[in-house]
Amino acid sequence: MSNRAEAGVKGEQVGGMLGLSTHAKGIVITAAGVLAITPDTLLIRLISADPWTLLACRSLLMGLAMTLGLAVYHRRGTLACFRSIGRRGILLSLLLALAGLLFVMAVAHTSVANTLIIMCAAPLFAAIMSHLFLKEPVAPRTWIAVILALFGVAIIVWGSLGGGPGGVHLLGDLLALGASAALAGSFTMIRGSRAINMIPAAALSGLFAGLAALPLASPLSLAPSDVGYLLLMGLVMLPVSFALTTLGPRYLPAPEVSLLMLLETFLGPLWVWLVLREEPSPQALIGGTVIVTVLVVHSAVALRRTQAATA
């Protein structure tokens, strides 16, 4: 039985036990995956280690935890599971690794609100990449949404000009924009490879990112509290979130996935504000309002048309 078939059978069994429809199951799985990752930026802020040490440890822990989980699940078929992703899966893992690297560096150089707001535009950028690489048509409303989202990003970046010593906040915003583009590329890869179980690619992405950062890291400098946060992040939050957000979207239309992803945009900065009192700038609030409104309206219209087409 193929990896996809195994995952589908397992998913149907879970859905049946819970008495959920396929659609409801997709919502529950995806929402749980997004909620699991929302404290991530808070933990990044709480860890006192330098960004390279943080990146190396969190990525390697995540990659090892996911690899172990796959080995327990597939047992003798583990190697075949990783081989099944092919070259596309390797490219996907590199894109996810790049997105993770840029994301951590962005949080280290700008506000959490700026980072997550810019990142949430990734689904719109993915629509354009799907048009360029998968030859999928792009509706006029999507082009308009992308232009408006870029306008929102420009407002945020403008607010960061001169906002930190040596333009630090601007650098962080640009890193977040790069992470958003890499994440959009990964969405496109997943969409073009829907017949393949890409959870092994997510595991490899952690190993790749961790190994890339390791030469610049200083693991022995970690404080005891940092170790606890990293274990929680790398062994629990990230593996659970990556697995669920890779599986859940199989059962949902893309517009609904985009709406559920907005949970992190709201809750991530909220946790940081509640614990550390890090407030978003006025420009981040204005630009964020533009981007989130565009995403909600675009996804709602697309979802309505999807439902009408399948009715």
User: What is the biggest distance separating any 2 CA atoms in the chain, rounded to whole angstroms?
Assistant: 59
What does the pLDDT read at residue 164? 58
pLDDT (0 to 100) of residue 306: 72
DSSP 110: S
Residue-level pLDDT at 311: 64
pLDDT at 73: 93
CA distance 102 to 281: 21
Structure tokens at 33: 């995956």
Please state, in angstroms and rounded to a whole number, the distance separating the CA atoms of residues 149 and 32: 26
Q: pLDDT tens across 216-263, in order?
A: 999 998 999 999 999 999 999 999 998 888 777 777 766 677 778 888
What residue ranges of the chain have pLDDT lower than 70? 1-20, 162-168, 253-255, 310-311
Q: Residue 290's pLDDT is what?
A: 93
Closest CA to 120 of 7, 2, 264, 236: 264
pLDDT score for 99: 95
Look at residues 211, 4, 182, 2 and name the one whose alpha carbon lies nearest to residue 91: 182
For residue 176, the model assigns a pLDDT of 95
Q: Rounded to an integer, what is the distance from CA 172 to the centroid of its chain?
A: 17
What is the domain partition of the chain in residue ranges?
Answer: 3-310
Q: Which pLDDT value is given to residue 133?
A: 87
Q: With the CA atoms of 221, 226, 39 and 281 taken in that order, what torsion angle do they form, in degrees rounded to the nearest 10?
A: -60
Would you say 176 and 119 are in contact if contact means Cβ atoms under 8 Å apart? yes
Task: Please give the angle made by the CA atoms of 165, 171 and 176, to the nearest 5 degrees.
Answer: 140
